[in-house]
Structure 1
Amino acid sequence: MSDHHIATDDAWVPEACTLPTAERPLRLAEFDQFFADAVRGLDRLSAQHLRFQLDGATQVEEAARDLTARESSCCSFFTFDLSRPDADSLSLDVRVPAAHVDVLDALAERAASVRNVQ
Protein backbone atom coordinates (compact mmCIF):
# COMPACT_ATOMS: atom_id res chain seq x y z
CA MET A 1 0.00 0.00 0.00
CA SER A 2 1.20 3.49 -0.71
CA ASP A 3 1.94 6.11 1.89
CA HIS A 4 0.30 9.22 0.36
CA HIS A 5 -1.84 11.31 2.69
CA ILE A 6 -5.62 11.29 2.41
CA ALA A 7 -7.98 13.38 4.54
CA THR A 8 -9.96 11.41 7.11
CA ASP A 9 -13.12 13.41 7.81
CA ASP A 10 -15.80 11.13 9.23
CA ALA A 11 -18.86 12.56 7.47
CA TRP A 12 -19.88 9.12 6.18
CA VAL A 13 -19.57 7.25 9.49
CA PRO A 14 -23.05 5.99 10.43
CA GLU A 15 -24.65 6.73 13.78
CA ALA A 16 -25.07 2.96 14.24
CA CYS A 17 -21.29 2.46 14.30
CA THR A 18 -20.10 1.05 17.63
CA LEU A 19 -16.40 1.64 16.96
CA PRO A 20 -15.07 3.87 19.74
CA THR A 21 -14.89 7.47 18.58
CA ALA A 22 -11.14 7.66 19.21
CA GLU A 23 -10.54 4.75 16.80
CA ARG A 24 -12.67 6.11 13.94
CA PRO A 25 -10.00 8.31 12.31
CA LEU A 26 -7.69 5.30 12.10
CA ARG A 27 -10.38 3.12 10.51
CA LEU A 28 -11.28 5.89 8.07
CA ALA A 29 -7.64 6.21 7.10
CA GLU A 30 -7.48 2.44 6.53
CA PHE A 31 -10.53 2.57 4.26
CA ASP A 32 -9.16 5.56 2.37
CA GLN A 33 -5.85 3.78 1.85
CA PHE A 34 -7.64 0.62 0.75
CA PHE A 35 -9.82 2.58 -1.70
CA ALA A 36 -6.78 4.37 -3.12
CA ASP A 37 -4.55 1.31 -3.41
CA ALA A 38 -6.84 -1.63 -4.15
CA VAL A 39 -10.04 -0.42 -5.83
CA ARG A 40 -9.97 -0.50 -9.63
CA GLY A 41 -13.64 0.27 -10.18
CA LEU A 42 -17.03 0.34 -8.51
CA ASP A 43 -20.56 -0.40 -9.65
CA ARG A 44 -23.83 0.39 -7.94
CA LEU A 45 -25.88 -2.72 -8.66
CA SER A 46 -28.90 -1.52 -6.68
CA ALA A 47 -29.72 0.99 -3.95
CA GLN A 48 -28.60 -1.57 -1.37
CA HIS A 49 -25.71 -3.21 -3.25
CA LEU A 50 -22.30 -1.85 -4.21
CA ARG A 51 -19.55 -3.85 -5.92
CA PHE A 52 -15.88 -2.92 -5.85
CA GLN A 53 -13.54 -4.37 -8.45
CA LEU A 54 -10.23 -4.87 -6.69
CA ASP A 55 -6.64 -5.49 -7.63
CA GLY A 56 -6.37 -9.29 -7.69
CA ALA A 57 -3.19 -9.54 -5.62
CA THR A 58 -3.11 -11.92 -2.67
CA GLN A 59 -2.22 -9.13 -0.24
CA VAL A 60 -5.28 -7.15 -1.40
CA GLU A 61 -7.51 -10.13 -0.65
CA GLU A 62 -5.94 -10.49 2.80
CA ALA A 63 -6.34 -6.76 3.50
CA ALA A 64 -9.97 -6.81 2.33
CA ARG A 65 -10.81 -9.81 4.52
CA ASP A 66 -9.19 -8.21 7.56
CA LEU A 67 -10.75 -4.77 7.07
CA THR A 68 -14.25 -6.06 6.33
CA ALA A 69 -14.18 -8.48 9.29
CA ARG A 70 -13.28 -5.64 11.64
CA GLU A 71 -15.89 -3.34 10.09
CA SER A 72 -18.59 -6.01 10.42
CA SER A 73 -17.88 -6.22 14.14
CA CYS A 74 -18.75 -2.55 14.73
CA CYS A 75 -21.26 -1.93 11.91
CA SER A 76 -23.18 -5.19 11.82
CA PHE A 77 -25.67 -3.97 9.21
CA PHE A 78 -23.01 -4.32 6.48
CA THR A 79 -22.78 -7.57 4.55
CA PHE A 80 -19.44 -8.05 2.80
CA ASP A 81 -18.80 -10.79 0.24
CA LEU A 82 -15.36 -11.24 -1.30
CA SER A 83 -15.08 -13.39 -4.42
CA ARG A 84 -12.70 -14.25 -7.26
CA PRO A 85 -14.58 -14.22 -10.57
CA ASP A 86 -11.34 -15.49 -12.15
CA ALA A 87 -7.69 -15.95 -11.18
CA ASP A 88 -6.72 -12.33 -11.85
CA SER A 89 -9.66 -10.44 -10.41
CA LEU A 90 -11.27 -9.89 -7.06
CA SER A 91 -14.69 -8.43 -6.22
CA LEU A 92 -16.00 -7.06 -2.95
CA ASP A 93 -19.78 -6.83 -2.70
CA VAL A 94 -21.18 -4.57 0.01
CA ARG A 95 -24.85 -4.78 0.92
CA VAL A 96 -26.94 -2.91 3.46
CA PRO A 97 -30.58 -3.07 4.53
CA ALA A 98 -32.91 -0.37 3.18
CA ALA A 99 -32.60 1.63 6.41
CA HIS A 100 -28.87 2.17 5.72
CA VAL A 101 -28.87 3.06 2.02
CA ASP A 102 -27.59 6.53 2.96
CA VAL A 103 -24.49 4.93 4.49
CA LEU A 104 -23.84 2.94 1.31
CA ASP A 105 -24.32 6.14 -0.71
CA ALA A 106 -21.74 7.89 1.42
CA LEU A 107 -19.33 4.94 1.22
CA ALA A 108 -19.58 4.94 -2.58
CA GLU A 109 -19.01 8.70 -2.72
CA ARG A 110 -16.03 8.40 -0.39
CA ALA A 111 -14.46 5.61 -2.44
CA ALA A 112 -14.96 7.55 -5.67
CA SER A 113 -13.50 10.75 -4.23
CA VAL A 114 -10.47 8.99 -2.74
CA ARG A 115 -9.80 7.21 -6.03
CA ASN A 116 -9.81 10.59 -7.79
CA VAL A 117 -7.13 11.93 -5.41
CA GLN A 118 -4.43 9.77 -7.01
Structure 2
Amino acid sequence: MINSERDDKRMATHTFLEKKQDTITLEGDRLRALKQLSSRLSTYVPRSGHLGWDDSFASIINECQTLLEASDTEFADMVGASRPTVGRWKSGKTSPHPLGRESAISRLVKIVDKRAHVIEKSIREKPSA
Protein backbone atom coordinates (compact mmCIF):
# COMPACT_ATOMS: atom_id res chain seq x y z
CA MET A 1 0.00 0.00 0.00
CA ILE A 2 2.81 2.42 0.85
CA ASN A 3 4.55 1.74 -2.49
CA SER A 4 1.29 2.35 -4.29
CA GLU A 5 0.81 5.72 -2.58
CA ARG A 6 4.41 6.68 -3.35
CA ASP A 7 3.91 5.68 -6.99
CA ASP A 8 0.71 7.72 -7.10
CA LYS A 9 2.57 10.76 -5.74
CA ARG A 10 5.39 10.29 -8.25
CA MET A 11 2.88 9.97 -11.07
CA ALA A 12 1.02 13.09 -9.93
CA THR A 13 4.30 15.05 -9.68
CA HIS A 14 5.41 13.77 -13.09
CA THR A 15 2.06 14.75 -14.64
CA PHE A 16 2.24 18.20 -13.03
CA LEU A 17 5.76 18.76 -14.37
CA GLU A 18 4.76 17.59 -17.84
CA LYS A 19 1.81 20.00 -17.88
CA LYS A 20 4.07 22.80 -16.66
CA GLN A 21 6.60 22.06 -19.41
CA ASP A 22 3.81 21.89 -22.01
CA THR A 23 2.60 25.30 -20.85
CA ILE A 24 6.09 26.77 -21.16
CA THR A 25 6.47 25.21 -24.62
CA LEU A 26 3.08 26.59 -25.72
CA GLU A 27 3.97 30.02 -24.36
CA GLY A 28 7.31 29.83 -26.18
CA ASP A 29 5.55 28.90 -29.43
CA ARG A 30 3.08 31.74 -28.96
CA LEU A 31 5.91 34.16 -28.18
CA ARG A 32 7.73 33.19 -31.40
CA ALA A 33 4.52 33.58 -33.40
CA LEU A 34 3.85 37.02 -31.87
CA LYS A 35 7.39 38.19 -32.64
CA GLN A 36 7.11 36.99 -36.24
CA LEU A 37 3.74 38.72 -36.56
CA SER A 38 5.18 41.94 -35.13
CA SER A 39 7.98 41.82 -37.67
CA ARG A 40 5.52 41.29 -40.53
CA LEU A 41 3.23 44.05 -39.26
CA SER A 42 6.17 46.46 -39.01
CA THR A 43 6.99 45.93 -42.68
CA TYR A 44 3.37 45.87 -43.89
CA VAL A 45 2.80 48.42 -46.64
CA PRO A 46 -0.79 48.85 -47.72
CA ARG A 47 -1.34 48.93 -51.46
CA SER A 48 -1.61 52.60 -52.26
CA GLY A 49 -4.99 53.79 -53.40
CA HIS A 50 -6.55 50.34 -53.01
CA LEU A 51 -9.93 50.33 -51.33
CA GLY A 52 -12.39 47.51 -50.83
CA TRP A 53 -11.39 43.85 -51.19
CA ASP A 54 -7.99 43.21 -49.66
CA ASP A 55 -7.26 39.59 -48.76
CA SER A 56 -3.85 40.33 -47.26
CA PHE A 57 -5.30 42.85 -44.81
CA ALA A 58 -8.07 40.39 -43.89
CA SER A 59 -5.56 37.62 -43.22
CA ILE A 60 -3.40 39.92 -41.07
CA ILE A 61 -6.42 41.02 -39.03
CA ASN A 62 -7.57 37.41 -38.53
CA GLU A 63 -4.09 36.26 -37.52
CA CYS A 64 -3.70 39.12 -35.06
CA GLN A 65 -6.99 38.43 -33.36
CA THR A 66 -6.19 34.73 -33.09
CA LEU A 67 -2.72 35.23 -31.62
CA LEU A 68 -3.93 37.93 -29.24
CA GLU A 69 -6.72 35.60 -28.13
CA ALA A 70 -9.14 38.53 -28.22
CA SER A 71 -12.91 38.42 -28.57
CA ASP A 72 -14.47 40.35 -31.46
CA THR A 73 -15.35 43.23 -29.14
CA GLU A 74 -11.91 43.32 -27.50
CA PHE A 75 -10.19 43.23 -30.87
CA ALA A 76 -12.37 46.01 -32.27
CA ASP A 77 -11.44 48.16 -29.27
CA MET A 78 -7.76 47.36 -29.87
CA VAL A 79 -7.82 48.61 -33.47
CA GLY A 80 -10.17 51.52 -32.75
CA ALA A 81 -13.07 50.41 -34.91
CA SER A 82 -16.55 49.06 -34.37
CA ARG A 83 -17.16 45.32 -34.11
CA PRO A 84 -19.21 45.20 -37.35
CA THR A 85 -16.49 47.10 -39.21
CA VAL A 86 -13.80 44.71 -38.01
CA GLY A 87 -16.06 41.83 -39.02
CA ARG A 88 -16.17 43.19 -42.57
CA TRP A 89 -12.38 43.58 -42.56
CA LYS A 90 -11.93 40.01 -41.34
CA SER A 91 -14.19 38.63 -44.04
CA GLY A 92 -12.39 40.66 -46.69
CA LYS A 93 -15.57 42.49 -47.70
CA THR A 94 -14.00 45.86 -46.96
CA SER A 95 -10.76 47.30 -45.70
CA PRO A 96 -10.06 50.70 -44.24
CA HIS A 97 -8.77 53.62 -46.22
CA PRO A 98 -4.94 53.49 -46.38
CA LEU A 99 -4.60 55.97 -43.50
CA GLY A 100 -7.04 53.95 -41.39
CA ARG A 101 -5.15 50.80 -42.27
CA GLU A 102 -1.89 52.42 -41.22
CA SER A 103 -3.47 53.46 -37.91
CA ALA A 104 -4.87 49.96 -37.24
CA ILE A 105 -1.54 48.31 -38.11
CA SER A 106 0.35 50.78 -35.92
CA ARG A 107 -1.92 50.01 -32.96
CA LEU A 108 -1.56 46.28 -33.54
CA VAL A 109 2.26 46.48 -33.63
CA LYS A 110 2.23 48.12 -30.19
CA ILE A 111 -0.29 45.63 -28.78
CA VAL A 112 1.49 42.58 -30.22
CA ASP A 113 4.87 43.80 -28.93
CA LYS A 114 3.41 44.43 -25.47
CA ARG A 115 1.78 40.98 -25.37
CA ALA A 116 5.06 39.36 -26.50
CA HIS A 117 6.92 41.22 -23.75
CA VAL A 118 4.44 40.03 -21.10
CA ILE A 119 4.78 36.40 -22.24
CA GLU A 120 8.57 36.64 -22.41
CA LYS A 121 8.67 38.03 -18.87
CA SER A 122 6.32 35.28 -17.68
CA ILE A 123 8.53 32.58 -19.18
CA ARG A 124 11.69 34.07 -17.60
CA GLU A 125 10.06 34.26 -14.18
CA LYS A 126 8.78 30.67 -14.12
CA PRO A 127 10.88 28.46 -11.87
CA SER A 128 12.53 25.65 -13.75
CA ALA A 129 11.14 22.16 -13.35
Normalised-by-shorter TM-score class: 0.3 to 0.5
Larger RCO: 1 or 2 (CA < 8 Å, sep 6+): 2
Structure with the largest fraction of helix = 2
